[in-house]
Amino acid sequence: MNPEPEIRRLLDVMPASGRMATKLVSKPEQRWVIDAPFPMPWMRDRPIYINFDLWSRLPRTQRDLLILRTVSWLGAVKWFQPNLNFGLVAAGVVGTGIELFQQDFVGVALASALSAIAATQIWRNNHSTSLELDADERALQVAQRRGYSETDAAGYLLSAIESVAQFEKRPLSFIELLRGQSLRAIAGLSAIGIPEELRRD
């Protein structure tokens, strides 16, 4: 597959926010069909690497849903969201600076610990099952604006997850199995969805 026309087509499929925040890059040497590094707060661009040799084996419908899901996941990762954890990190950083200036090393340790705990919670939230499932649901919403029905889009994304694992010669991960069960329920292929306690993990 020639990457350039497909990249242009994918940019048209993506929402405007995705086109501004991400960059599609051909990476034929990677063993993954599509890969997006976890976006750290200092990263300006959010690249999405695609092995177009493997990508071309997927039907167009699956490719559409995979790119929408990847963009939705990248957009869901929030580091500087105004919430309690971010406030605690900021307070801990400021407190650490003040305590260092005053040479109060017990205060430095406490303020640093506060920042570390809050930062760990932000990290966990950005790696949660809930974020993964929400990214799937956001991708389905965008797909509906591109002419797909919700049930069809869920079925295509489910098939894409399974096809990608097959092309990459690996078993489905635990989170992919959970996502698959959620998508089966949305597609009307299963009456059983994801229990709320698993969604909150």
What is the model's pLDDT at position 170?
95
Please tell me the distance from the alpha carbon of residue 33 to that of residue 35, in angstroms, as a whole number.
7
What is the model's pLDDT at position 145?
95
Query: What DSSP line would sit under 27-72, residue for residue?
Result: -TT-SSSEE-----TT-S-EEEEE-HHHHTTS-HHHHHHHHHHHHH
Instruction: Say which residue, 153 or 116, is predicted with more confidence.
Output: 153
What is the model's pLDDT at position 71?
95
Please tell me the distance from the alpha carbon of residue 147 to that of residue 33, in angstroms, as a whole number.
25
Q: Which structure tokens are listed for 74? A: 């990248």
Please tell me the distance from the alpha carbon of residue 32 to that of residue 163, in angstroms, as a whole number.
12
Q: What angle do CA 66, 69, 72 make, to 5 degrees?
A: 150
- 86 has a pLDDT exceeding 60: no
Helical residues (DSSP H) of the chain, grouped into ranges: 3-13, 16-21, 52-55, 60-76, 84-101, 105-125, 129-145, 150-167, 174-186, 196-199
Percent residues over pLDDT 90 in the chain: 53
Per DSSP, 193 falls in state -
What is the model's pLDDT at position 28?
94
Determine the 3-state secondary structure of 22 from DSSP: strand
Instruction: Say which residue, 128 or 124, is predicted with more confidence.
Output: 128
The pTM of this model reads 0.77
For residues 156 and 62, is the Cβ–Cβ distance under 8 A?
A: yes
Per-chain mean pLDDT for the chain: 81
